[in-house]
Amino acid sequence: MAESLSHKENVAAGSVQLIHSVGMHARPAVKLTKLAKRFSSEIAVRVAGAADWIDAKSVASVVAMRAARDSIIEFEATGLDAQAAVAALVLLVEQDFPDTVA
């Protein structure tokens, strides 16, 4: 009946193919980071195969990732809303960064 008082951090991961015509440049990076900032979880992103994860809430870092069209983008989130954060970010990239995001 009652929830456990010991809260484990939720961890979620996901990946998606970047279909944007010129890859991850400023406009999609801003949209990605704005969406990431809506969540309280820590969110990291990288191009598949890259050694280092970067902060998905940093526009400069996301742009510096230099993800080319058709690369696979991986997300990893830790926190209470980790599942929702990864799902929303994957959907954003899948839909090619639409101007309206729910």
**At residue 83, what are phi and psi to the nearest 5 degrees?**
-60, -45
Residue 25 among the catalytic residues: yes
Q: What is d(CA 78, CA 99) in angstroms, rounded to the nearest whole number?
A: 27
The active-site residue, picked from 11, 15, 25, 91, is: 25
Residues annotated catalytic, as ranges: 25
